[in-house]
Amino acid sequence: MLQSAKTSARPVLRVGVVGVGVMGANHARVLAEFPGVELAGVADPDRKQAHYVGSTLGCPALASVEELLGRGVDAVSIAAPTHLHRDIALACIARGVHILVEKPIASTVAEGEDIIAAARRAGLTLMIGHVERFNPAVQAIAAAIRKEDILSIAITRVGPFPPRMSNVGVVIDLAVHDIDLICWFTGSQITEVQPQLSNAVAEREDIALLQFRTASGVLAHINTNWLTPFKARTVHVATRRKYVIGDLLTRQVTECYGFQPDGSYSMRHLSVGHAEPLRAELMAFVTAIKDGTPPPVTGEEGVASLAIAIQCLDGRPDAEPAPKSTGLVGTEPVQRRVRSAFVKS
């Protein structure tokens, strides 16, 4: 339901956010600032959290997706726990509402495929929140290797245990970002998977060393864990003519090139933008809806990354990676809190 803006002929897109925990609160913060968008409401059964986010951003705070849909929205950003993505997505699609679904698209490949099929039938935009693609350092790496013959990719994504454990391990929580990047960088699909996993401290895997081969012949490696006392996110890409190194946190990207027979080479720092990745992602979602163009991260890509992540867990392409949330991880209760979560991603 597009409304006429008071100050412009451009229609205003009414967008809501479902699930305003750590990630959804940031979706709402970003959407509240967009020109041509009205943050139509936030929905979360945690009323305290919904009220906190709604009152901070000046939008209605609702208890459920049904209440939000009842208010009339054009699009919804879904940042509820992953095991709820399918049902919430299908409820939105049934009301003709475009959706952005946080990564991973769903708990299982079958659930992800349900979302894709429903969105396709309804002719609605479906985008997946693989926000790392919008990191300016990742975009600089992608630009540097675009016309190159990629040989190998090594990604490190490590850090301490998250303050609030979810019901998934590092493969579904972290490595799925990098599986998506490997496919995106190479423009190819992963065809061979060699995972090494360990749960050193947690109930689920907290260390993963994952090796892949893509259909295009690229070898790739992901090193991820929750046991490193500091956060590190690096990408190294070897191509036939260049070696590109990116630090996704400091956003420094360097390329080595001009390899000489004597072993010498040149180095240069590449120019990297400053955009907030989540803002760029949500802007791409809104633009895809307004222009009727395909979104930059499709449901099919979301399912492909999830399928590989699940295969890493136990080799079965359609295995359930985690039980539905019980609110408990081991014997530790999930710590609920009203989060002053408006941090930049």
Ligand X SMILES: NC(=O)c1ccc[n+]([C@@H]2O[C@H](COP(=O)([O-])OP(=O)(O)OC[C@H]3O[C@@H](n4cnc5c(N)ncnc54)[C@H](O)[C@@H]3O)[C@@H](O)[C@H]2O)c1
Q: 342: burial class by Cβ within 10 Å (0-12, 13-18, 19+)?
A: middle
Whole-angstrom distance, CA of residue 229 vs CA of residue 174? 16
Smallest separation, CB 9 to ligand X (Å)? 34
Q: Residue with CB nearest ligand X? A: 21
Return the number of the residue (37 or 50) whose C-beta is nearest ligand X.
50
Return the number of the residue (120 or 336) whose C-beta is nearest ligand X.
336
Return the number of the residue (166 or 198) whose C-beta is nearest ligand X.
166
Position 67 contacts ligand X (CB under 6 A): no
Smallest separation, CB 3 to ligand X (Å)? 24
Position 49 contacts ligand X (CB under 6 A): yes
Position 21 contacts ligand X (CB under 6 A): yes
Question: Per CB under 6 A, which of residues 123..152 are in contact with ligand X?
Answer: 129, 131
Position 302 contacts ligand X (CB under 6 A): no
Non-local (6+) Cβ contacts of 139 within 8 A are: 133, 272, 273
Q: Work out which of 30, 42, 73, 82 binds ligand X, going by CB under 6 A.
A: 82
Q: ∠ at Cα 34 (270, 248), nearest 5°?
A: 25
Return the number of the residue (14 or 233) whose C-beta is nearest ligand X.
233
Q: Work out which of 13, 28, 43, 312 binds ligand X, going by CB under 6 A.
A: 43
Q: Which two tokens stand for residue 136?
A: 């300016």
Position 23 contacts ligand X (CB under 6 A): yes
Q: Which stretch binds ligand X (CB under 6 A): 42-50, 247-255, 266-274, 316-324?
A: 42-50
Q: What is the 3-state secondary structure (H, E, C) of 273-332?
A: CCCCHHHHHHHHHHHHHHHCCCCCCCHHHHHHHHHHHHHHHHCCCCCCCCCCCCCEECCE
Residue 53 DSSP class? H
Report the b/e string of 172-202 with b at 16+ CB within 10 A.
bbbbbbbbbbbbbbbebebeebebebeeeeb
Return the number of the residue (12 or 30) whose C-beta is nearest ligand X.
30
Whole-angstrom distance, CA of residue 30 vs CA of residue 283? 9
**Pairing, β 150-158 against β 190-198:** unpaired
Position 61 contacts ligand X (CB under 6 A): no
Return the number of the residue (148 or 300) whose C-beta is nearest ligand X.
300
Position 79 contacts ligand X (CB under 6 A): yes
Smallest separation, CB 42 to ligand X (Å)? 9
Closest CA to 26 of 312, 319, 311, 277: 277
What is the SS3 assignment for 124? coil
Q: Which stretch binds ligand X (CB under 6 A): 3-11, 74-82, 139-147, 190-198?
A: 74-82
Position 219 contacts ligand X (CB under 6 A): no
Identify whether the C-beta of residue 237 lies closer than 8 Å to the C-beta of residue 243. Answer: yes
Dihedral pair phi/psi, residue 127, rounded to 5°: -125, 150
Whole-angstrom distance, CA of residue 281 vs CA of residue 1? 22
Residue type, 264: S
Binding mask 165-204 toward ligand X (x if CB under 6 A, else -) reads: ----------------------------------------
Return the number of the residue (67 or 203) whose C-beta is nearest ligand X.
67
Position 24 contacts ligand X (CB under 6 A): yes
Whole-angstrom distance, CA of residue 61 vs CA of residue 283? 23
Return the number of the residue (220 or 297) whose C-beta is nearest ligand X.
297
Position 102 contacts ligand X (CB under 6 A): yes
Which residues form the interface with ligand X (CB under 6 A)?
18-24, 43-46, 49, 65, 79-82, 84, 102-103, 129, 131
